[in-house]
């Protein structure tokens, strides 16, 4: 296995975006493609590491840039401002998601009939949005993501299988959001699996979460058990759909 990675520049609505593409270069045949969507911190080394791990599983993985020009945040205030700029203008956000999907499908190493997406925190909300608007992804996986909806799907309108990996002690995602999400998915007749990990807080997959939580007074923490269990759930799902 020879993992090849590169920064991939692309444009959406004249905005310059910088993604990160990685895949096994020894395998020349098209393989499933997976989009990776970053936390509110932006496309940082943590997200690149996750993207590399997908390549090691045999996928072509593209970490996409939702903020523009590869921007990352150094503080919660900066991260929140960047994230809310996207959430406050989901027409642009949706355009960036659709464009990134087209970029992924346009790679010679990708079988465009077999695509999926994973996302963390903010990115989790974005992959759920892609499912809600009916993008042709085989599966989407949200890791400690927000569950609020920017688009109400019609019955049968969701094409993707959905896996939500949630920390049971995640105080940033209220129970009311979980109830609303489950009701919305039931109405949409979606294929959803909701995994809740006992004791896990927001950010449970990110090894930096505990330190960031302590530094900034935020309810964040890494949880090795939940991290490994959720990744295993993702790989099982992808094995089934691909």
Instruction: Provide the residue count of the chain.
Output: 242
Q: What is the distance between the alpha carbons of residues 242 and 201, in angstroms, rounded to a whole number?
A: 30
Q: What is the mean pLDDT of residues 205-227?
A: 97
Interval 35-76: pLDDT, tens: 999 999 999 999 999 999 999 999 999 999 999 999 999 999
User: 3-class DSSP state for residue 198?
Assistant: coil
Interval 130-151: pLDDT, tens: 999 999 999 999 999 999 999 9
Q: Please, which residues bridge with residue 166 across strands?
A: 196
DSSP E strand stretches across the chain: 3-12, 15-24, 31-37, 60-64, 110-120, 139-143, 161-167, 192-197
- Please, which residues have CB within 8 angstroms of residue 13's CB and are 6 or more apart in sequence? 92, 95, 96, 99
What pLDDT score was predicted for residue 64?
98
Grade residue 27 by pLDDT with cuts at 50, 70 and 90: confident
Question: Do 211 and 179 form a contact (C-beta atoms < 8 A)?
Answer: no
- Please, which residues have CB within 8 angstroms of residue 125's CB and are 6 or more apart in sequence? 87, 119, 142, 145, 146, 147, 148
CB atoms within 10 A of CB 23: 26
Global pTM value: 0.97
**Residues 41-60: b if buried by 16+ CB within 10 A, e if exposed:** bbbbebbbebbbbbbebebb
Which CATH code for domain 3-241? 3.40.50.1820
DSSP state of 153: P
Does the pLDDT at position 14 exceed 90? no
């Amino acid at each position: 296995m020879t993992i090849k990675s590169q920064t991939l520049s692309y444009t959406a609505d004249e905005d310059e975006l910088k993604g990160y593409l990685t895949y096994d270069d020894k395998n020349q045949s098209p393989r499933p493609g997976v989009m990776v969507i970053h936390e509110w911190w932006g496309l940082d080394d943590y997200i690149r590491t996750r993207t590399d791990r997908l390549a090691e599983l045999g996928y072509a993985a593209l970490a996409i840039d939702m903020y523009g020009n590869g921007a990352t945040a150094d503080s919660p205030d900066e991260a929140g401002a960047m994230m809310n700029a996207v959430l406050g203008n989901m027409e642009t956000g949706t355009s960036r998601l659709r464009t990134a999907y087209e970029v992924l499908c346009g790679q010679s190493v990708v079988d465009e009939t077999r695509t999926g997406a994973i996302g963390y925190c903010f990115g989790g909300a974005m992959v759920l949005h892609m499912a809600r608007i009916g993008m042709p992804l085989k599966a989407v996986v949200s890791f400690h993501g927000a569950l609020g909806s920017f688009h109400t799907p019609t019955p049968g309108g969701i094409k993707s299988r959905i896996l939500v990996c949630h920390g049971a002690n995640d105080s940033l995602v209220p129970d009311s959001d979980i109830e609303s999400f489950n009701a919305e998915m039931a109405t949409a007749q979606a294929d959803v699996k909701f995994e809740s990990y006992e004791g896990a807080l927001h950010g449970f997959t990110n090894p930096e979460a505990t330190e960031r939580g302590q530094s900034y007074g935020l309810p964040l923490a890494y949880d090795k058990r939940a991290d490994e269990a959720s990744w295993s759930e993702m790989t099982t799902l992808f094995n089934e759909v691909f």
